[in-house]
Amino acid sequence: MEVIEQASSMRAIVSALRCGGKRVGFVPTMGALHEGHLQLLRASARENDVTICSVFVNPTQFNNSSDYNLYPRTLEQDISLLQTVGCDYLFAPNAEDIYPQQSLLQFSFGELEAVMEGAHRPGHFNGVATIVSKLFHIVQPHKAYFGQKDLQQVAIVRQLVQALSFNLELVCHPTVREADGLAMSSRNKRLTTPQRQLATQLYKALQLAKRDLQQKPVAVIKSEVAHFLHHTDELELEYFEIVDPITLQPLRDVAGYKEVALCVAAFVGEVRLIDNMLVNLIEA
């Protein structure tokens, strides 16, 4: 595996690969890799001739400077993991190369960014769209791989790809979980042992909601989830929503829907975690 730090070098390599008829798979990450990332990388290695992974902690998608500064950075460990899953190139640029000047570009995603993550993290998706656009232009992949844990981000990127006519296929893989159900996340590294145990309540809350979806009104389920998660001052629910799986708009009633998405965000101590679950109401 070759580590590339300059965007110009990455562009030149990709240009040569594509001219040679190679299909390029791309997994963009912010590092602190875990099995969820590795699953995406393995899929890319199976489905493409060349796999590129990026590790870049993107400053423009953080609306909290402390969260940005504390985000786990484990590049040496990441390199070791990437070498085990068929990754051919690691693109690990610095912020000055990606943002040689302040980005003034503004993206708007309408109702899609007015709910959940967009409502609670103003400017977040503008930063996501900016960095994803830059990376797609640099890496020029045939396929780009994302995880379902960031369900709203995937929806934003899908809209971005369609709106800007990026010539690539967006691939979304299911969330990878620990044995106790906790969604794998780079932020989990920041949890203390007691907080790590407490964080499993998010998945349990999703399971509780799934169980009651066709027996109780949405408002009642939301109230019960809020009560269930009110365990301690160490866990603070930010939102729980039952939404349309495509538009991600909150639902008042699930009648007539074949599938819905359950989405939750909470602080465990100072660590903000998100999770979601797609529920097929026909099979539930």
Q: Which residues belong to the annotated binding site for ATP?
A: 30-37, 147-150, 176, 184-187
Residue 115 CA to residue 192 CA, distance in Å, equals 30
Residue 124 CA to residue 39 CA, distance in Å, equals 25
Residue 153 CA to residue 66 CA, distance in Å, equals 21
* Token reading at 137: 């232009």
Neighbours of 216 (CB within 10 A): 14
Residue ranges at the known binding site for beta-alanine: 61
Residue ranges at the known binding site for (R)-pantoate: 61, 153
Amino acid at 68: Y
Tell me the CB-side half-sphere exposure of residue 86, using CA atoms within 13 A: 18
Q: Is 37 a catalytic residue?
A: yes
Strand locations in the chain (E): 2-4, 24-29, 50-55, 89-91, 143-147, 169-173, 235-243, 259-268, 271-280
Residue 185, phi then psi, degrees to nearest 5: -155, 145
Options 37, 137, 227, 231, the catalytic residue: 37
Residue ranges at the known binding site: 30-37, 61, 147-150, 153, 176, 184-187
Report, as residue numbers or ranges, the catalytic residues.
37
